[in-house]
Structure 1
């Protein structure tokens, strides 16, 4: 509002502000035993994208006699979820290397006496994070849950991505919308 009523203010603000400095996202300390970052620091100037929980796509459709669709084991579902997350990130101009935080929900499986299949999850996870092609590791939490939104789902993952470089004063330089 101030800029619309007093346009001479913008050059003064920009003169004192100096050039906007892009601050890098910093990943500190790889966890001692897991392929994750212990902490990730995102500067205030970064753009942040929050992805809602994503679940696997079916590997086999529901049967004609009412059988539930098949989604595969933990590893198969995790690969499906990461493909979907990667596609969503790409559609928004981000990449897997921009992921700074993952929250992973895993359902226990009978072959692990009702415990989550961390080995299956990890086999899929390390194909996407900490690789030579994509070395960035996110901070991550993994929890076991009793169930997810549909029978057969074993994996749901929420992701937060951030990329640095957005100038904080960029919004000030944009003209105010006209209400004429």
Structure 2
């Protein structure tokens, strides 16, 4: 019977093994060379994919506030969405300041003429809102929702002056200084905090 060949051992086996590896490398990375190259490429691809995903997430989270225009674009927005990572400010209802700030009178004794008509009071109120927003690091462009309460104007037969309110509003939104606008609701109310007030405005800002 013929004996089966036993594995090569000793110095000759080392020479054959080293020769095979060298031959493998000389054949353009076949064998051992390819085994080492493939994991490196896969690792680089994983890093690239991770970087791409993170970049996409950064882009998504940087646009936390989205405003939706009406069709066609109008004076106010159709609506707005605010992401969970946004900074928000809920501002209480604001009233107009007296036209003559030097007057020191009891507001209860003041009349509409001390504060102005609906347009004048709207402008005064929005200026107060603008200043309050700035105190907290916001601007008029950050307003996403506005609620306007308008009392009946005696000069208009007790009806609200909606056109006058809109004229005052238009000086602050969709302008060169602030090309954005807001989602807005407006209501006529029986009365406000005092008989001299025709407009009260509250806003929500987000950025």
Secondary structure of 1:46's counterpart equals: coil
Q: CA deviation at 1:138?
A: 0.6
Q: CA deviation at 1:43?
A: 1.2
Counterpart Cα distance in 1 of 2:65 and 2:105? 47
Aligned pairs for 1:113-152 (under 5 A) are 113-152=157-196
* Higher-RCO chain (CA-CA 8 Å, sequence separation at least 6): 1
The one of 83, 99, 110 equivalent to 1:68 is: 110
Q: Show structure 2 runs of 5+ residues with no match.
A: 1-53
Q: CA deviation at 1:32?
A: 4.9
Q: CA deviation at 1:50?
A: 0.4
**Once the two structures are superposed, what CA deviation does each residue of 1:22-79 show, in whole Å capped at 9, x if it has no partner?**
2341111236584000111111111110000000011243669x94251110011111
Counterpart Cα distance in 2 of 1:34 and 1:145? 25
Q: Does 1:40 align with 2:84?
A: no
Secondary structure of 1:81's counterpart equals: helix
Q: Does 1:26 align with 2:26?
A: no
Aligned pairs for 1:101-120 (under 5 A) are 101-120=145-164
Q: CA deviation at 1:92?
A: 0.5
Match of 2:39? none
Match of 2:21? none
Match of 2:37? none
Counterpart Cα distance in 2 of 1:26 and 1:145? 31
- Mark the CA change 1:58 to 1:114 in structure 2 (over 3 Å): closer, same or farther: same
TM-score (norm 2): 0.64
Q: Higher helix proportion, which one?
A: 2
Match of 2:142? 98
Secondary structure of 1:147's counterpart equals: coil
Counterpart Cα distance in 2 of 1:43 and 1:77? 33
Q: How many residues align?
A: 146
**Once the two structures are superposed, what CA deviation does each residue of 1:80-114 show, in whole Å capped at 9, x if it has no partner?**
10110000001100000000000000001123222
Match of 2:91? 51
Q: Show structure 1 runs of 5+ residues with no match.
A: 1-17, 164-180
Q: CA deviation at 1:151?
A: 1.5
- Mark the CA change 1:67 to 1:47 in structure 2 (over 3 Å): closer, same or farther: closer
Alignment check: 8 A CA contact 1:23 1:45 kept: no
Counterpart Cα distance in 2 of 1:31 and 1:156? 28
Larger Rg computed on CA atoms: 2
